[in-house]
Structure 1
Amino acid sequence: MAPGTADSGRARPEQSARRVPSVRTDLLVAGGYLSLAVFVLAGLWLNPRNGYLVKSDQDQAMFEWFFSVTAWKLTHPENPLGSQLQNYPDGVNMMANTSMFGWGVPLTPVTLLFGPTVTFVLALTLGLSGTAFAWYRLFARELVESEFAAAVGGLFCGFAPAMISHATAHPNFVVLALLPLIASRVITMARRANYLEARRRWQPRPALALGLLVALQIALGEEPLLLFALGFAVFGLAYLRTPRAILRTLRALAPPVLLAALITVALTAIPLWWQFFGPQSYRFIGYGRGGNDLLALFQFAPESAGSVLSFGPDVSINPTEHNSYFGWPLLLLLAVSAVLLRRERVVQAALAVIVAFTALSMGVMLSIDGEFTIVPMPWLIAGQLPLLNGIVESRFAMVAIPAIAIVLALGTQRALDHRRSPASGWRPAPWFGALACALLPLAPTMLPVVDRTPTPAFFAEGTVRRYVSDGSVLIVPPPTAADAVALRWQIDSDFTYPLVGGYFVGPSGPDKKARYGPEARPTANLLTLVRAFDTVPVVDATLRAQTRADLRYWEADVVVLPPTDSGDALRRTMDQLLGFPARQVDGVWVWDVRALV
């Protein structure tokens, strides 16, 4: 799959590297992948209005808000790159967040007609199946002759445990079908460049296609693109091996790749400028501990059929970051395959990627069974590099997924070849038995779904419009990354008001280090503590003055207390802070503060 992988001695570069699968086979494979994706997300498909993925925490609410506000802005003459609809009055830099304009913009009609949950579940469903199919097509053209072997590789790429884990919350790490297309373009360009180099011919069309694909992937997810580029570069270097071959390929690729880069920059310059230098941009994300535990490589994810066979404690970062969890049978099969296929250059390159990026995924220090050791890992150095320091390091293990798929597909191909080569040492039955033992425990299960809490009538029926003039709505306490349900209420009210607080990534402090959610003001901190401890504080003139200052900063028109934990303590606290009692309106407590502010 690196440049020149397939039959570099062909007479003409336009010839396909392998036999192209038939349309019928493609349809069968695509239908199988799609059926499996629908099964995984069946709970959400059966209840798209009120269903919520249990393990997504607040991320489903966040992505639905991004899709909804994108659709809303496209139907209103406003800049889609930024928004003041949450975190009022500072706003949110949409490009500096996972807005997925590449999905939200074309699916705006779906969002407007059927709601953001349908757009969200479509992204997850087509992301899983489309990613699997795109890798299948690449393997069938560049790696193996058997459609079945290619389908095995595509299946693992689309439905590996990490993909299912991210399907609980992160469509930007699921909609990855463009990555194998980018790989295919680079491979084709390298092959043609080597062929045309002596003839001094130029190839602008492939460069144009590559530039368009990269620009679109930026609009879908930049972090997956960066991870893929690093993995593909390591694969190519390991495959080419010698400095001479590497330099020859780089020299041949340089002109078309540079042209593709210029095309990408021309298409994305304004959005990228807004992302890094526009309002509410930030410079660095610090995630804290984000490396894989050593046990995570051998265990089975909770969303896998083999989870009942897992051992040891849960060592994951959170339910949406099961980025390895390959299971010990698959690792054992890879070890045996590495020996049997040790002469295959493509397998050697794939193993280099697996080892390098698995090591990177393990963080700064090696962790075993939840306990850190004194063994340093490569991330201790790599984590200091620009661009890389904003990646959750456990996600580097996802780079190993297509590399593992290469080994599985090629091993399957060699087992099938045994029938045509009786002298071969391969025995197909043991291979397919081992393959089943490795993959069946990784089979995904249906993701659990619960019903949302209904939107209060105050928002759902539009009553909030009577209380908002030109200011904002303050929910008690304001929504944060830990509780973003108010974003859904804003969607259900058709964005008739801006919201104080929210769930997004924005700058904090003079160094503009990133943080999740708004910089909390004193009143927001006080209300959060009241809910946590269910205790009414002693309210004095200083607290009242601070509350009024915060309300003026937020330009608040109305303060709303929905049904929540510690609701009585919160209501009595706000009564004292504002100096007048709340009114109960359509299921919520309301303080109209327009006159006060």
Structure 2
Amino acid sequence: MLGVTGERRRPRHARETVEATTAALPVVRPRRRWVPPLLLALAYLLFSLALQHRALGSPSTVLIGRVTADADMFSWWLNWVPWSVLHGENPLVTDYMHYPYGLNALWNTSVPLLGVLLSPVTLTAGAVVAYNVGVVLGPVASGVALVFALRPYVRGWVARGIGGALYAFAPFHMAHAVAGHLNLTWSLLPPVLLLLAHHLFGGWQPAEHAEPAGRVKRAAPVRRPWLLGAVTGLVLVAQLVLYTQMLAIGVVFLVMTAVVLALRFPRRVRPALPGLARAAAACVGVFAVVGAYPLYLILAGPVRPRGSIRNIDATGADLANLLVPTRMTAIRPAPDGLADELAGHVGEQGGYVGIAMLALVVVAVLVVRSTVLRVVATVGALAWFCSLGTGVTFLGAAAGITLPWTVMRHVPLLSEIEPVRIQVVVGMCVAVVVAMWIDHLPTVAPSGAARIGAVALTGFALLSWIPADAQEVQPAPVPALFAAPGTAFSPDDVLELYPRTTAAWDDGAQGLRWQVASGMAFRTPGGYYIASDPEDDVVIESAWNRYQIGAQWVADGKNQPSDRYTAAAAGDLRAVGVTVVAVVPQDPATDPAVLDWSRRVTGDPGRFDGGVWLFRLGPG
């Protein structure tokens, strides 16, 4: 008989037999694959919060970092992105800083992607909180990214979790967190490129299916090259609007990985070329189309710098940092004070590997029969060599040895890479090698003395990378007037601030914090940025005008400038559209002289409101 569905009904005894058999079978529950990564993300988050515990009690009144300049700058940009969208402004071009010339966001560390991701925090709790949340979440996101990237190479969640933790809280990320470098705590691109390399450079069999694990199978063509290339292009666009220097570093080492593999497997190059060519075409096409406007801003946009923005010879890593840890590492076998001799500041001293970790990497390369592991170790070694920059520096002293990276000074855009920041690739490669080593431990050291020695070496290496409880915070005060400006400013006001907004590490850029707190109630000719103006090819802060020079002059106890100079100072302010001079008192001994000077320049007796003196500039 046919039922209502059109299917022939089974006899009743047959149905009863099937139901009885089904009831006797064990219930197979779906595997909850999301549980391990979720638990790892939670563990990373708790550890990151513990490291930044000094900011938890008052996240809106302190900034994570040893200094405030970069933190204030990042807070400004985190605020600018959602504010500009809500007010019909261009999020990638602004004249609210460096007025009237403005800024090109893609030539600044403007992190627009983070501005979007953190906008709920910015709009509800403020830019200072958003910055602090970003610094806490950056290592967490980077570590989780590596956990997922390790899936083709590492079987166990424990090994992946350890690898992710090593990368998340590597000396590189801890150094840049204390320096307030929000952009570098979000190092997602290297792990994502590691995962893409598995698909792009084909033939690497997933570890959970390989026999033995991690070995390379016969060459296979790139699967779905057009789709894979398109995804790679989108990833690169995302990094383009996160931090452009990391994009350049990532592309360089994606190419380097391809070269290493080609040298290791020369017979596989020709069969792989057609698929790689299609993937490359799709990548370039998607990148060019989706990233067209950001690319325009970089290559031909307004107020971009017209010269090199940094000295490439001064941005290499210190050779000694490989074995000499800074105070950001808990266990420091080096003599006290030795880290103080390293080149650069603590934020650029994130290249520590250490004797124990280096020994573990060497043992893993020699013992584990895995081509993938050795390729990763080779790329890591090349990255470390490149991070030294154009010449060898040892404990702060130049050794006079020229290195191959010097050729980069002649390559447009790539010459702006700071080699020391290539240490992020080194940190990731170390984490990957360690994760693969731990995954292989049961086979390379099954029992006995070998197992004890391997576990002991692994334990020492992991302990050597534990971060110290050395993260810092700095107060982020805001005068009452800027916190609640009311009707103090008109929409067209351009504010000249004293003290002058600069790139100085200690409160040099606090004027940007005050501007954000005011709800972007005014524009300012000052700032901390990378740009150009009609007179200078590269500027990183506002030029000294006669008003600021005169203010510094009288604050130093010298005589009031002449009437002629005073008139010229007023002319300088009018030339850039300044309508209001705001003086935030700094020192009772010098404030009266600065206030008197401001009255002379503006022709306004001024008014004191909410901890700030305001002087409206009279007509010229």
Larger Rg: 2
Task: Give the corresponding residue for 1:411.
Answer: 437
Matched, 1:27 2:38: yes
Distance 2:288 2:278 in 1: 15
Distance 2:592 2:465 in 1: 47
Matched, 1:274 2:297: yes
Query: Deviation per CA, 1:199-233, whole angstroms, max 9, x where unpaired?
Result: xx965433332222222121212211221222232
Task: Give the corresponding residue for 2:167.
Answer: 157
Task: Give the corresponding residue for 1:16.
Answer: none
TM-score (norm 2): 0.84
Contact 2:602 2:616 (C-alpha < 8 Å) held by counterparts: no
SS of corresponding position for 2:198 = helix
Q: Which amino acid aligns with 1:437?
A: F
Q: Which amino acid aligns with 2:174?
A: I
Contact 1:95 1:275 (C-alpha < 8 Å) held by counterparts: yes
Contact 2:103 2:303 (C-alpha < 8 Å) held by counterparts: yes
TM-score (norm 1): 0.87
Matched, 1:51 2:62: yes
Q: CA deviation at 1:112?
A: 0.8
Task: Give the corresponding residue for 2:185.
Answer: 174
SS of corresponding position for 1:325 = coil
Q: Which amino acid aligns with 1:134?
A: A
Task: Give the corresponding residue for 2:229.
Answer: 207
Matches within 5 A, 1:26-425: 26-139=37-150, 141-168=151-178, 169-191=180-202, 195=220, 203-240=225-262, 241-283=264-306, 284-287=308-311, 289-307=314-332, 309=334, 311=336, 312-314=338-340, 315-341=342-368, 344-418=370-444
Distance 2:81 2:242 in 1: 13
Task: Give the corresponding residue for 1:12.
Answer: none
Distance 1:339 1:529 in 2: 66
Q: Which amino acid aligns with 1:378?
A: P
CA RMSD between the two structures? 2.8
Could you say if the C-alpha distance between residues 192 and 349 of structure 1 is closer, same or farther in structure 2, counting changes exceeding 3 Å? closer
SS of corresponding position for 2:88 = coil
Contact 1:300 1:310 (C-alpha < 8 Å) held by counterparts: no
Task: Give the corresponding residue for 1:15.
Answer: none
Q: What stretches of structure 2 of length at least 5 have no aligned partner?
A: 1-30, 205-218
Which moves more between the two structures, 410-419 or 497-506? 410-419
Distance 1:206 1:381 in 2: 31
Q: Which amino acid aligns with 1:154?
A: G
Matches within 5 A, 1:583-594: 583-593=607-617
Distance 2:332 2:567 in 1: 55
Distance 1:553 1:310 in 2: 56
Contact 2:550 2:597 (C-alpha < 8 Å) held by counterparts: no
Contact 1:29 1:151 (C-alpha < 8 Å) held by counterparts: yes
Q: CA deviation at 1:104?
A: 0.9
Q: Which amino acid aligns with 2:290?
A: L
Could you say if the C-alpha distance between residues 410 and 49 of structure 1 is closer, same or farther in structure 2, counting changes exceeding 3 Å? same
Q: CA deviation at 1:523?
A: 3.4
SS of corresponding position for 1:55 = coil
SS of corresponding position for 1:66 = helix
Distance 1:210 1:233 in 2: 13
Could you say if the C-alpha distance between residues 539 and 132 of structure 1 is closer, same or farther in structure 2, counting changes exceeding 3 Å? same
Distance 1:553 1:25 in 2: 61
Distance 1:37 1:457 in 2: 32
Q: CA deviation at 1:55?
A: 1.3
Contact 1:472 1:557 (C-alpha < 8 Å) held by counterparts: yes
Could you say if the C-alpha distance between residues 528 and 441 of structure 1 is closer, same or farther in structure 2, counting changes exceeding 3 Å? farther
Q: Which amino acid aligns with 1:592?
A: R
Q: Which amino acid aligns with 1:331?
A: L
Query: Deviation per CA, 1:370-407, whole angstroms, max 9, x where unpaired?
Result: 22122222233333322221122211222211221222
Distance 1:529 1:357 in 2: 49
Matched, 1:477 2:487: no
Distance 1:120 1:398 in 2: 21
Task: Give the corresponding residue for 2:481.
Answer: 458
